[in-house]
Amino acid sequence: MIFMAGLLMLGPTASAQTDTAGKDSTTLVVADSTAQDSVLATTVADDELLAADEAEEEGGFHKQLKTKFIDGNVVFMSLVALALVLGLAFCIERILYLMMSEIKTKKLMEDIESRLAADDLEGAKKLCQTTRGPVASVCYQGLLHIRQSVDAIERSITNYGGLQAANLEKGCSWIKLFIAMAPSLGFLGTVIGMVMAFDQIQTQGDISPRIVAEGMKVALITTIFGIIVALVLQLFYSYILSKIERLTSQMEEAAIQLLDLITAYKQKHQ
């Protein structure tokens, strides 16, 4: 009887322990699932924050540039921006003109030599007429006066070459003007900013760091933008000068070769 009573007491206890273990395992599974969901939610939130930060960084430069433009006094910053736009317009026009003026000078001189060797003077003239650029124009000028003396031909080529060189440099004076104007406008903004700061100090009757900082910010921003504009235009101007020097050198070499060809042609037909 005692043995049977013990079995009856152990049965409910074991069943209760089994139920408790099952409930604990279910609780653990639910906890793990909740933790995984929390981790996933955190990851998604981090990804969204990163995407928002990237979007903010992409539009941040333009926004900061606009803010600095407004902080630097719209009037003076507009003048600096106008100098940049006009200067770039002249630079682009000169670059396109110089690029269109470049030709294969060596091939042109070979073609002229072959036509003169074949006594095709008109063909040589027509070749120079239909070829773009100052080099071909100088050669045409020399061939146009081939009946004159060599000294007269040389003077004609020299004078016409000077005219073509002046055409290459057309508009460069405006670029130099805007290069000089940009930092000058920036320095003018600096002076105006300092005057504004002193006016505020006089009006408030107190040297406050905020008042001084506002005037100094206007002064420094206009100066920075003016110097940046001048540097950008100076880079384009230096490139333009290098192109002009190259074309001028090609004209000089072509003029020397043309004089030799004309001399040989005149000696041949004496």
In tens, the pLDDT along 2-54 reads 444 443 444 444 444 444 444 444 443 334 444 444 443 444 444 554 444 44
100-105 long-range contacts (CB < 8 A, ≥24 apart) are 100/132, 100/133, 101/132, 101/133, 101/134, 101/168, 101/247, 102/133, 102/243, 102/246, 102/247, 103/131, 103/132, 103/133, 103/135, 103/136, 105/135, 105/250, 105/253, 105/254
Which residues fall within 8 angstroms of residue 185, CB to CB, at 6 or more apart?
Answer: 76, 79, 80, 83, 222, 226
Among the residue ranges 85-94, 115-124, 129-138, 192-201, the one predicted with the least confidence is: 192-201
Q: What is the dihedral of CA 40, 41, 47, 51, to 10 degrees?
A: 150
Q: What is the pLDDT of residues 71-84, one digit of tens each?
A: 545 677 788 888 89
Based on the domain organization, do 241 and 182 belong to the same domain? Answer: yes
Based on the domain organization, do 84 and 112 belong to the same domain? Answer: yes
Confidence of residue 131 (pLDDT cuts 50, 70, 90): confident
Based on the domain organization, do 254 and 209 belong to the same domain? Answer: yes
Q: How many angstroms separate the Cα of 213 from the Cα of each of 194, 216, 220, 223?
A: 10, 5, 10, 15
- Rounded Cα distance between 68 and 71, Å, is 5
pLDDT, position 145 = 83
Based on the domain organization, do 82 and 63 belong to the same domain? Answer: no
Based on the domain organization, do 64 and 110 belong to the same domain? Answer: no
Q: Which amino acid is at 43?
A: T
Domain limits for position 4: 1-71
Confidence of residue 86 (pLDDT cuts 50, 70, 90): very high
Based on the domain organization, do 56 and 93 belong to the same domain? Answer: no
Q: How many angstroms separate the Cα of 33 from the Cα of each of 23, 28, 212?
A: 15, 9, 59
Show the tokens assigned to 119: 């006594």
Q: What mean pLDDT comes out for the span 205-225?
A: 71
Based on the domain organization, do 238 and 143 belong to the same domain? Answer: yes
Based on the domain organization, do 53 and 104 belong to the same domain? Answer: no
Based on the domain organization, do 96 and 206 belong to the same domain? Answer: yes
Based on the domain organization, do 162 and 115 belong to the same domain? Answer: yes
Based on the domain organization, do 25 and 122 belong to the same domain? Answer: no
Based on the domain organization, do 52 and 85 belong to the same domain? Answer: no
Question: 132's torsion region: left (phi>0), alpha (psi -120 to 50) or beta?
Answer: beta
Cβ 124 vs Cβ 110: under 8 Å? no
Counting the structural domains of the chain, the total is 2
- Rounded Cα distance between 255 and 57, Å, is 57
Of 42, 71, 100, the position where a domain reaches its end is 71
Q: Euclidean distance between the first and final Cα of the chain, in Å?
A: 154
Show the tokens assigned to 88: 């770039």
Enter the pTM of the model. 0.68
Of 41, 71, 101, the position where a domain reaches its end is 71
Of 71, 88, 109, the position where a domain reaches its end is 71
